[in-house]
């Protein structure tokens, strides 16, 4: 029987996961398909309850804005989910859903594959939702020197900082990116739409800073365009997905 996988989000037009995974299913001769599932905010619990009754459902990737809600619904979670309070992949188990979080490792591996060194750097993350929390965890594991967090929701920012500080003996500051940062990261959805404001002020960064985005569509967001015009190095959002595909594949229990 064909295994069905989905990616759940709102909006859903921007997702790349179906094309990436469906290409892998064909390449590896796996009888499976991944489809986008448009689920509105507030409807996630009901949607997951219904999907658990699909016998050939293999698992779901979770994207904006449902990562935190998915973590709260999960019956069983990894330590990453427990600290970040977010999940980007769930699979059905006997008593409900099991959740894990791979965005951070995907982001960090993507940066390393591009030749960027993370150890000893000052990193600023704008957006303390699911992606931002995941990236923060992965950066702390790579022994960065300083982590700075910023979010339009100040309480969410302070909450994440409080959960992260015990994880590593480094400073976790709450402030916007500035010229002291080596790497500035947009972990918000800003940039999906052409009319979105920039998530932070690029002109505040130093001349050697790296600007990274988690937005995958468009590939070159306005933030990255502005950074490139300033002569700064950039990292596109697609690398975060490309470098977590194999981890999600294993989490879903798929054969090679």
Please state the φ and ψ torsions of residue 53, each to the nearest 5 degrees.
-90, 0
The whole-number pLDDT of residue 46 equals 97
The whole-number pLDDT of residue 167 equals 73
DSSP letter (8 states) at residue 187: -
Question: What is the C-alpha separation between 73 and 127, in angstroms, rounded?
Answer: 22
Q: Which residue has the tokens 């490139």?
A: 228
- Block means of pLDDT (10 residues each) for the chain, 256 residues, are 97 94 97 98 96 97 96 96 95 96 98 97 96 96 95 93 83 93 97 95 98 95 98 97 97 90
109-152 residue pLDDT tens: 999 999 999 999 999 999 999 999 999 999 999 999 999 999 99
The whole-number pLDDT of residue 171 equals 81
Question: What is the C-alpha separation between 152 and 183, in angstroms, rounded?
Answer: 19
CATH class given for the domain over 3-101: alpha beta
Question: What is the C-alpha separation between 211 and 122, in angstroms, rounded?
Answer: 12
**What are the residue ranges of CATH 3.40.50.10860 in the chain?**
3-101
**What are the residue ranges of CATH 3.40.50.720 in the chain?**
104-237
What's the token pair of residue 150?
Answer: 């910023």
Question: What is the C-alpha separation between 84 and 132, in angstroms, rounded?
Answer: 9
The whole-number pLDDT of residue 178 equals 97
Indicate the pTM of the whole model.
0.93
167-178 residue pLDDT tens: 777 788 999 999
Q: Are 163 and 136 in contact (CB under 8 A)?
A: no
What's the token pair of residue 236?
Answer: 């596109």
Query: How crowded is residue 207: how many other Cβ atoms within 10 Å of its Cβ?
Result: 8
CATH code given to domain 104-237:
3.40.50.720
The whole-number pLDDT of residue 222 equals 97
What's the token pair of residue 34?
Answer: 């991944």
The whole-number pLDDT of residue 155 equals 93
């Amino acid at each position: 029987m064909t295994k069905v996988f989905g990616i759940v989000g709102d909006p859903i037009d921007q997702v790349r996961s179906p094309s990436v995974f469906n290409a892998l299913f064909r390449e590896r001769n796996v009888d499976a398909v991944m489809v986008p599932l448009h689920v509105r905010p507030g409807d996630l619990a009901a949607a997951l309850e219904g999907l658990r009754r699909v016998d050939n459902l293999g698992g779901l990737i979770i994207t904006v804005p449902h990562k935190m809600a998915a973590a709260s619904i999960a019956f069983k979670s990894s330590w990453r989910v427990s600290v970040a309070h977010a999940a980007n992949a769930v699979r059905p188990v006997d008593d409900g859903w099991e959740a894990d979080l791979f965005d951070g490792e995907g982001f960090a591996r993507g940066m390393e594959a591009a030749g960027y060194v993370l150890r000893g750097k000052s990193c600023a993350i704008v957006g303390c939702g699911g992606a931002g929390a995941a990236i923060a965890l992965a950066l702390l594991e790579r022994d960065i020197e300083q982590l700075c967090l910023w979010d339009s929701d100040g309480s969410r920012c302070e909450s994440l900082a409080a959960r992260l500080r015990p994880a590593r003996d480094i400073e976790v500051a709450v402030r916007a990116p500035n010229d002291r940062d080596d790497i500035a990261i947009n972990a918000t959805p800003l940039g999906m739409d052409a009319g979105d404001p920039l998530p932070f002020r690029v002109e505040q960064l130093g001349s050697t800073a790296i600007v990274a985005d988690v937005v995958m569509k468009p590939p070159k967001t306005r933030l990255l365009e502005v950074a490139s015009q300033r002569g700064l190095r950039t990292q596109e959002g697609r690398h975060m997905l490309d470098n977590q595909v194999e981890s999600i594949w294993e989490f879903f229990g798929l054969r090679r």
